[in-house]
Amino acid sequence: MQIILENLGRRFNKEWIFKEINYVFSQGQQYAILGPNGSGKSTLLSVLLGNLTPSEGRIIYKGQEEILPENIFNYVSLAAPYLDLIDEFTLQETIAFHFEFKRYQHGLDAAAVLDLLALSKAEDKPLKYFSSGMKQRTKLALAFCADTPILVLDEPTSNLDTQGTDWYLNLVEKFAKDRLVLVGSNQAYEYQFCPHQLNILSYKK
């Protein structure tokens, strides 16, 4: 699996968020998308995910054959603070709903995800009663445990304490090895495992 960027740019009104990005992301590699708050990291990730269209240039998605941009969502798992969960669903219902659309990683099932979260006592509790940290752990577990070649993590440790951050890094070790991983961050501990870095400030024109 590859994501190939050719002269990629995105602007809002007359302001270019980034411009002329030529880059190749490959499966089995981990990439940090870097830049200060408000620099455009999440915008770039949204363009890569097909949620926003480029203002110039193009993106090529290559699996065993080329993948149409409107179908790339089938190959992606995302965890981000702005990703909404359904507050009325219980944790158990949230897991069941998510995996109606994604396959579990090999050897996992709903019970394994609950065990990984260590929230079995909350499985019948609606998410509206969860703390922000519990919700973020749920988003991360759903993304890591889904069998997709692309894993996108935008500010992955938002609302997590030190123990939660260690738990996140353990998930990376277990479930990120053979995937194309994109981490949007300006916190070094969130992307310390990424050998490749793309700084959005290098593409400001």
Q: What angle do CA 77, 52, 60 make, to 5 degrees?
A: 70
User: Domain extents for the chain?
Assistant: 2-203
Residue 121 has what pLDDT? 80
- The answer to whether 178 touches 144, Cβ cutoff 8 Å, is no
Q: Which two tokens stand for residue 51?
A: 């949620």
How buried is residue 195: exposed, middle or buried, by Cβ count under 10 Å (0-12/13-18/19+)? exposed
Type of residue numbered 71 = N
Q: Which two tokens stand for residue 197?
A: 């870095």
d(CA 32, CA 34): 6
Confidence (pTM): 0.92
- List Cα–Cα distances, 68 to 3, 61, 77, 82, 99, in angstroms: 12, 7, 17, 25, 23
Residue 185 has what pLDDT? 94
Give the phi and the psi of residue 132 in degrees, each rounded to 5: -60, -35
Give 10-residue mean pLDDT values along the chain (205 residues): 95 92 96 92 93 94 88 93 94 96 94 89 91 95 96 95 94 94 95 96 87
Class of domain 2-203: alpha beta
- The answer to whether 175 touches 147, Cβ cutoff 8 Å, is no
Residue 150 has what pLDDT? 96
